[in-house]
Amino acid sequence: MENIHHHHCQHQHQQHHHPAAETDEAAMAELLDLDAEVMHSYLSEVTAWIQELATDPLPRRILDLGSGTGTGAFALLERFERADAIALDVSAQLLDHLRGKARVLGVADRVRTVQADLDAAWPAIDTVDLVWASLSLHHMADPDRILTEVFAALHPGGLLVVVEMDSFPRFLPDDLGIGRPGLEARCHAALAEGRAADVPHLGSDWHSRLSRAGFTIEAERPFATDLTPPLPASTGRYAQASLRRIRSNLDGRMSADDLATLDTLIDSDGPDGILRRDDLTVRTARSVWVARRP
């Protein structure tokens, strides 16, 4: 996950082996799982749509590229009951977490994990019928090379599903009752300043990139989420984890007053803490491209 803003990603990032990184990976796993819970209806809608497009023949081997905690892989295994999945991620800790979830869900025999840093080399895996790349391609140093590798890994007629985020989740009302109104908008503006340098491929023209790699674009669709109360039970924790994720990148980019308000929201057990608020919403948008290898 990039260090300047907070996609809830099935992510590719550098592997670390010190305590802070371990804690960071645990926080990431929690965030990805909460994202799956709160965004369940979106995921269900997307995979139902893919099921309509991926018919002849039905996919038997699925690759989840930058799998994180396996949200995409598990949702697709539910749709394609005779399929197996390969979950590929750079993080050993997230893959371990994913294997634990596979056991709980009763699909351990249908999931294989592969630890690989795709910026270094494409791993040796057999050809597949469907590749799911959710919020992962923009993290790659060279997405065009990765798309060429994906093209080669797909059977002719196979599908690649690319999901990218149009807008980061927003949760808060404009006037929080504490601090100056517009806090969340200022947070997102501050994060945007560093984004171009840190994540240059975010917001790419994926349609053109897919075409250049040899794919035929089958379909392209926006999926907007606008959840209002009553919200899923885990929404408060999802909002807290999301804001906590971006907080460390805001030092020096926002006023001391704004940062203090944000800290109160994230950490307070009191009435102003995000877990106690009853005025949260979840607003975000993702775009999905479905591309076929001719």
How far apart, in Å, are the Cα atoms of 13 and each of 67, 119, 120?
12, 9, 12
Q: What is the pLDDT of residues 128-158, one digit of tens each?
A: 999 999 999 988 999 999 999 999 999 999 9
Q: What is the pLDDT of residues 157-204, one digit of tens each?
A: 999 999 998 878 999 999 999 999 999 999 999 888 767 666 656 777
Q: What is the pLDDT of residues 85-126, one digit of tens each?
A: 999 999 999 999 999 999 999 999 999 999 999 999 999 999
**pTM metric for this prediction:** 0.88
Give the three-class secondary structure for 40.
helix
**What pLDDT is recorded for position 106?**
98
Q: Which of 71, 54, 65 is nearest to 88 (CA)?
A: 65
**What pLDDT is recorded for position 75?**
97
**Please, where are the H alpha helices in 199-270?**
206-212, 235-247, 256-267
Q: The tokens of 31 are what?
A: 């965030």
Give the three-class secondary structure for 277.
coil
Q: What is the pLDDT of residues 213-262, one digit of tens each?
A: 999 999 999 999 999 999 988 999 999 999 998 898 899 899 999 999 99
CB 1 within 8 A of CB 7: yes
**Average pLDDT of the residues of the chain:** 90
**Chain CA centroid to CA 151, Å:** 22
Q: Count other C-beta atoms under 10 Å from residue 261's C-beta.
A: 18
